[in-house]
Amino acid sequence: MKKLLFACIGAALTTLVAAEDVTDVERMICASGQAQICFETGECHAATPWELSIPDFVIIDTKKGTISTTKASGLSRSTEFAKSDRKEGLIHLQGVEGGRAFSFVIHEQTGRMTAAIARDGLSVTVFGACTAANM
């Protein structure tokens, strides 16, 4: 009985945090879901975002040109992206910081996010979801 209850709660929470339309949204909160790390040797491994020090949530502000951790994370991390554009229903964000290049693609209609972070000999791919940040 407890397993059924937890399964129902999990299904309800999944529905609550589902991505949504972020068309014309300037400030959104994005949650990381799945991650994978690959090495230049060809080895790739699935990992949880927290195993790779990826924040659970980030705030993307397309007007300010920043990606920041939430206050609740206690991480106080922020970076600027050098390039952003919106076309054909996609938001593209790109930047470089600390020897790493990063690129985000967010589907405006669904809020689904794909992010890639690359440094010499290593890449990390993250899939997640975004929604409007009404803060």
Render pLDDT for 75-122 as a digit per residue (tens, 0 to 9): 889 999 999 999 999 999 999 999 999 999 999 999 999 999 999 999
14: left (phi over 0), alpha (psi -120 to 50) or beta: alpha
> Taking a C-beta distance cutoff of 8 angstroms, is the pair 65, 81 a contact?
yes
Residue 30 within any structural domain of the chain: yes
- For the whole model, what pTM was predicted? 0.82
Residue 14 within any structural domain of the chain: no
Q: Among 121, 127, 125, 126, which residue's Cα sits nearest to residue 42?
A: 121
Query: What is the domain count for the chain?
Result: 1
Domain extent, residue 28, equals 19-132
Q: Is the pLDDT of residue 135 over 70?
A: no
C-alpha span between 131 and 27 (Å, rounded): 9
Residue 8 within any structural domain of the chain: no
Structure-token match 């669904």, residue found: 110
Residue 53 within any structural domain of the chain: yes
Residue 5 within any structural domain of the chain: no
Residue 109 within any structural domain of the chain: yes
Q: Is the pLDDT of residue 8 over 60?
A: no
